[in-house]
Each structure stands twice: as C-alpha cells, then as structure tokens.
Amino acid sequence: MSTMLTIKDLRAYYGQVQALHGLEFSLNEGSVTTLLGANGAGKTTTLRAICNMIRSTGNIEFEGKPLTGMSTENVVRLGIAHVPQGRGTFTNMTVEENLQLGAISRKDVKNIPDDIERMYAHFPVLKQRHTQQAGTLSGGEQQMLAVARALMLRPRLMLLDEPSFGLAPLIVRDLFGILAKINREDRVTILVVEQNAQLALELAETAYVIETGRIVMSGTAKEIADNEDIRKSYLGY
Amino acid sequence: MELFTNQVLAGIATGAIYACMALAVVMIYQAIDHLNFAQGEMAMFSTFIAWQLMQWGLGFWPAFLLTLAISFAGGIIIERALFKPLTNAPVLVHVAGFIALFAILNSVAGLTWDFTIKQFPSPFGSSGFLGSQLISTHQAGMIGVVLVLLLLLFAFFRFTRVGLAMRAAASLPESARLVGINTSWMIALGWGMASAIGAIGGMLIAPVVFLEPNMMGGVLLYGFAAAVLGGLTSPFGAVVGGFLVGVFENLVGTYIPGVGNELKLPIALALIIVVLVIKPSGLFGRKIVQRV
Ligand SMILES: Nc1ncnc2c1ncn2[C@@H]1O[C@H](COP(=O)(O)OP(=O)(O)OP(=O)(O)O)[C@@H](O)[C@H]1O
Ligand SMILES: [Mg+2]
C-alpha cells in the first residue's frame, strides 16, 4: 500500500497563537484514518492546514507533490475534498446547485448529471428536496448534502470534520455506512475527525490521537479501541 | 391622465438607466462589500470610448459591442491593478481607492476629449414611439435594452457554471474555495461585468444628458439610491429599485408644487431613508433562511 499524504513538522498559527506544534502523520492510499482528540486539541486546525486555509509551516505532501504555498482552490483541484466543521453549505442555493458546486472544478462536465443521480441514490432524501433552499434542510440533511457535495468532486482524498455532529444516532450509523461503502467501492481515501471516538474507530483502520497540537498516540483502530488507558484518558468512553 | 401616464413612462425609461447603474454597483458590492463611487466615471469613460469609435467611422452597434468588450477588459484590469492589492485593506483605504479612480478617469477624459458637451447619437431616433406622444423611440429603446440585459444576466447566473461559481464566491468565499473556485478571479469577473453594464447605462443616457466628463454624477447618485432601495444584495432588487426611483422622481417633480428639477434628488433620497428606517435590508434584501 502506498502513502498518499505525508505530514511532517506541521505548525499552524492563528495570529500569534500557535495551534499545532510539529504534527507528523501519514495516510495510506485507500485507507480510512481517524484523528481523535478533545475539544481544542487541533483537529480542525490540522484539516485547515492541509488545505492551506491557515498560516502554517512544515511539509505536506500529497501523492508526492508538496502542497506548500498552493492556494486552497488548487489543493482542492488535486482531488482533496474537505467537508468543513459547520458543513459550509451554500444555504441560499438549492440542494441541486450545492451538488453542482461540488463538481464546479471538474472538466468532465458531461458526467456530472450521472454523478448527481448517484448521490441521490446514496441519499434519497436529497432527491426529494433537490429544488429546496439548502438552508431549509434539517441538520442531518445538511450533513448528508455536505458529504454528497464533497463526493461530487470525485475526490482522491476526503477530509471530514466531525460528520456526526448534531445527528441522531441512527442517522450517524447510516452516514458512516455510506462512508464505508464509498471508501470500498470508489476507493476514496478518508481522513475523518471525530468526537464520537467509538464510531470512528469502527470505521477506520488507523487512528491518531491528538492533544494540544501534537500527536500523542497512534496505532491501528483496534489497538486504540482495545487500550482501556487510552480510551479513559483521551477518548472519554 | 395623459400627463400622468407620460410621466410614469418617462420615469420607467430613466429608471432603466438607474437600474443599469444600480446593477453595476450591486455586482461589485456583492463581490467585495464596498460601494464603487467611481462606477459613474467608469461608465462615462466607456461612453467616450464609444463616441471615439464612432468618430473613427464605426456604426453605432459595432461601436456599442466593441465598447462593451473594452469596458469588460478595463474593469478586470482596474480590479487586478488597483483593488486586488487592497483586498484586506480597511474601508477607508478602499474609499480612497475609489476616489482616486474617480479623479483619474474624470481628468483623463477631460484632457483627452475636453469638457465641452458632445452630441451622442441614439440608435433608436427620437420620434414618438409607435406614433404616440407618450414616449419616444429612444426611451422605448432604453427600456428594451435594459430588459434584454436583465434576461441575459438572469440566464447567466441561473444556467451557467461560471454564473453559479460567481454566486457561490459572493455568498460564501471560504466554502467556494473549498469546492475549487478561484474566488479572486470571480471578483475580477464581477468588475468586468459591472464595468460593461455601466457602459450600457452610459451609452443609453448620453443622447439624453449629452456627453461630457461630469455627465454621470447625478445618474450614479440615483443608481446608488436604487441599489440601496432594492437591498444591496439583490440584482433583481436593484433593477426594481431603479424603476421605482425613476418613476418616483418624475412624479414628485411633476405633481408636488415647488419641487421642480432642483429638489427632485433630495426628495428621492429622503424616500430612501424612510424605506431604510422601516426596512433596513431594503425592499428585496436577502433574508437567508438558515438552520444550524
Ligand atoms: N479562529 C481562531 N482564532 C484563534 N484561535 C483559534 C481559532 N480557531 C481555533 N483556535 C485555537 O486553536 C486550537 C485548536 O483549535 P481547533 O479548532 O483545531 O480544535 P478542535 O480539535 O477542532 O476542537 P473541536 O473538537 O472543539 O472542534 C484551540 O486552542 C483553539 O482555541
Ligand atoms: Mg474542530
């Protein structure tokens, strides 16, 4: 298995405040990896740094290409889809326009309608609401729309920031089921940030635990889930 | 009754020009959250370019189309050279930038073409429209051109990918970048389109007010009024605002004794303040339905 994303000595700053202190980790192609940690640990910041949405130093390589100095939109155009915390929904546009926007940087325009239909197959509720203003969807529906929008890029790598946030347990199950399927069938590599550690560890093969801007633990998802000390001190379950 | 109909129709005709200017202003406001005080001077400059092209022997419509292309490119160049470097600058710096642009365009136009007024031809003539006394062919033409422009803009924003990307970049720049949109170029594109739209307004109003470097001053004020009235975030509102301001201005000037030409503008502006006190987001300002 080849490495898709390598991160070395990543430091990120909000103004004068340093939020990441030399983070290191890597993702294998085709894998699902989860980044766990408490509030304020730096999970969101890590994802933002990968897309160059925040001032950072260090080395990030995607499929051998350094991302340093690249604009956010060019990082995305390499095939990195980011579902941000808060979902980033275009609330004043329709559901279908949101999906169109997900594919806006693609050159293969003629395949887009088929992909929209595939999203409707994954998320039937979006089809029912395709002409509705996205801002009027429920929180769960908006989360599905955000995932579907990201998939419309036909990404090689998908970054998900707390996809379970605010969703009912049953819906979270559904959503994670779909993510597993997407990973399996479309070979999309996934990096998922979660507060819901238990669930994330079921989906992922590899896990990293982050605390105040540093990786403090890593291993297979099974090792992390089976280690009671880690669970108690970092994951809170 | 005939006087009334006449004034309403004439108001709609000048309102079409206000609508153009308001549209141009809203276009840039949506992209960068600032009011372009130099929009009128840009339109004036474009109109001089059209005039110059016709002096060189081009017919009206070829000159019109070529002017649109030049204005579009000019708008993009102005954004790239002057305003892109100011992206994160405070409001006052932007204001200074707009005033500088205003002064530069005004004096360059004055130096190049001098300050004497010039005739600008109308492609529609000035006889009665369909033989009636209510409205001239030029006024009918102004309304027609603006309506066509609106339809084209509507189709552009609704049905093209670039239009969709521009809307996305204007409403949520960060999310737009996360789907791969180059928001910086979308802003430049907005400037280009605003510049071209303003040029249409200038070329249509020039046969009425005559061509000279200060011809757009009053027109832009009404355009601002229209844009604010319509709620600065809505192109549709800007257009409706333009027509409303045009009609209101004419009716006030005709029917309220003592108003005449001098007081029309202050009264129109007073109306806008009243509207904004009652409805701060303007008549069509966007209310975003949002659930978190
Ligand atoms: N816009 C900001 N300005 C200043 N500091 C910030 C900003 N955003 C985050 N931080 C700080 O950076 C650190 C990491 O924040 P980050 O959002 O990455 O945490 P997180 O792990 O995603 O937390 P959560 O689970 O609550 O989303 C925190 O200490 C936070 O206070
Ligand atoms: Mg976070």
What is the residue-level pLDDT of chain A in tens, covering all 237 positions? 689 999 999 999 999 999 999 999 999 999 999 999 988 999 999 999 999 999 999 999 999 999 998 999 999 999 999 999 989 999 999 999 999 999 999 999 999 999 999 999 989 999 999 999 999 999 889 999 999 999 999 999 999 999 988 888 888 888 899 999 999 998 999 999 998 888 899 999 999 999 999 999 899 988 888 888 777 776 666
Residue to test with chain B: of A77, A83, A90, A132, most B Cβ within 10 A:
A90
CB within 8 Å: A100 and B164: yes
Task: Tell me the C-alpha distance between B243 and A7, whole Å.
Answer: 57
**For chain A, what is the domain count?**
1
CATH number at residue A170: 3.40.50.300
Q: Give residues with Cβ within 8 angstroms of A217, minimum separation 6.
A: A208, A209, A224, A230, A234
The answer to whether residue A110 sits within a structural domain is: no
**CB crowding A10-29: b at 16 or more within 10 Å, else e:** bbbeeeeeebbeebebbbee
The answer to whether residue A109 sits within a structural domain is: no
The answer to whether residue B8 sits within a structural domain is: yes
Question: Is the pLDDT confidence value at B291 over 60?
Answer: no
pLDDT tens digit sequence for B208-244: 989 999 999 889 999 998 998 888 888 888 999 999 9
The answer to whether residue A107 sits within a structural domain is: no
Query: Per-residue pLDDT averaged across B193-209, rounded?
Result: 95
Task: Tell me the C-alpha distance between B82 and B31, whole Å.
Answer: 15
Facing residue for B180 by CB, picked from A73, A109, A142:
A73
Whole-number pLDDT of residue B23: 93
Whole-number pLDDT of residue A12: 96
Whole-number pLDDT of residue A237: 66
Whole-number pLDDT of residue B292: 38
Instruction: Let me know how long chain B is.
Output: 292
Pocket perturbation via mutation, ligand 1, pick of A13, A44, A208 by most ligand atoms within 8 A of CB? A44
Whole-number pLDDT of residue B266: 82
Task: Tell me the C-alpha distance between A24 and A193, whole Å.
Answer: 16
pLDDT bucket at B255, cuts 50 / 70 / 90: confident
DSSP labels, B181-208: --HHHHHHHHHHHHHHHHHHHHHHHHHH
The answer to whether residue B185 sits within a structural domain is: yes
Is the ipTM higher than 0.90? The answer is yes
- Going from the Cα of B120 to the center of ligand 2, the distance in angstroms, rounded, reads 61
Reported pTM: 0.90
- Going from the Cα of A129 to the center of ligand 2, the distance in angstroms, rounded, reads 29
The answer to whether residue B255 sits within a structural domain is: no
Question: Is the pLDDT confidence value at B287 over 60?
Answer: no
Question: Residue B210 is part of which domain span?
Answer: 2-215
Whole-number pLDDT of residue A225: 85
The answer to whether residue B287 sits within a structural domain is: no
| B182: nearest CA partner in chain A | A73
Q: What are the tokens at B249?
A: 């201005």
Helix A112-122 and helix A95-102, axial crossing angle in degrees, nearest 10: 120
The answer to whether residue A28 sits within a structural domain is: yes
The answer to whether B165 faces chain A, any CB pair under 8 Å, is yes
The answer to whether residue B254 sits within a structural domain is: no
Whole-number pLDDT of residue B113: 95
- Going from the Cα of A35 to the center of ligand 1, the distance in angstroms, rounded, reads 14
Task: Tell me the C-alpha distance between A125 and A144, whole Å.
Answer: 9
Task: Tell me the C-alpha distance between B113 and B117, whole Å.
Answer: 10
Residue in A187, A214, A218, A192 with CA at minimum distance from that of residue A203: A192
The answer to whether residue A36 sits within a structural domain is: yes
Facing residue for B291 by CB, picked from A53, A86, A135:
A135
End-to-end Cα, chain A, rounded Å: 32
The answer to whether B287 faces chain A, any CB pair under 8 Å, is no
The answer to whether residue B27 sits within a structural domain is: yes
pLDDT tens digit sequence for B271-281: 778 877 888 78
Cα–Cα distance list, B160 to A101, B4, B25, B111, B156 (Å): 11, 41, 22, 41, 5
The answer to whether residue A221 sits within a structural domain is: yes
Residues 103-132 in B contacting A (C-alpha not used; CB under 8 Å)? none
**For chain B, what is the domain count?**
1
Question: Residue A194 is part of which domain span?
Answer: 3-93+154-235
